[in-house]
Amino acid sequence: MLEELLRKNRSAILNKWFNDVIATYPGDSGKFLGGEKDRFNNPVGNTIKDQSSILFDALIGDSPANRVDEAIENIMKIRSVQDFKPSEAVVIVFLLKTAIEETLKSEIKRQNLENELIDFHKNIDGLALSFFNSYTSCREIINRIRINEMKNRNKLLQKRMNVFNDTSMQEGDSDNDSA
């Protein structure tokens, strides 16, 4: 019963969820991400919208489960490079619960679907764990890139210092030769 209700109200739930996710961005960023419809001008907003719908469809059984990991990774790649704490990056999953409850509150109560909603929330909670795992994997990659960049800069600096030291020693040697 609940899944039928979710399917019927898919568009409203997804719009509410997307708006709630966009509201996690500060100031003008959120306005832009929510307002700009062109996917080339707003790849972040469009990725979040597209991947969220894949996740929602998978939760209600309308999308293959094998697309879930890719959708999570696509969203977390974005959230992990932005200035979010881990809890702030992952909170977007829990915003789906809010979107469903706010959109369907009276209908869930009227049809006595509270127990089904509790079970559905467990699926969302499981999704949250996958989001957190993906976030940490993305952060590990970012940290490895930073470490490698620092190592490369250090090597370049050492090469420059060695060239500088070799040059100044050669100049110093020629001064000593004339003395």
Express each pLDDT in 56-92 by its tens digit: 999 998 777 789 999 999 999 999 998 888 999 999 9
Question: Domains (ranges, CATH) in the chain?
Answer: 2-178 (1.10.490)
Q: Please give the residue that has the higher pLDDT: either 49 or 161.
A: 49
What would the pLDDT profile of 131-169 be if each residue is shown by its tens digit?
999 999 999 999 999 999 998 888 888 887 876 666 665
65: left (phi over 0), alpha (psi -120 to 50) or beta: alpha
In this prediction the pTM is: 0.78
What distances in angstroms separate CA 33 from CA 36, 79, 86, one per listed residue?
A: 6, 13, 20
| Cβ(119)–Cβ(63) below 8 Å | no
**Contact at 8 Å (CB) between 130 and 90?**
no
Phi-psi region of 85 (alpha: psi -120 to 50; beta: other; left: phi over 0): beta
Q: Is the dihedral of CA 70, 75, 78, 81 positive or negative?
A: negative
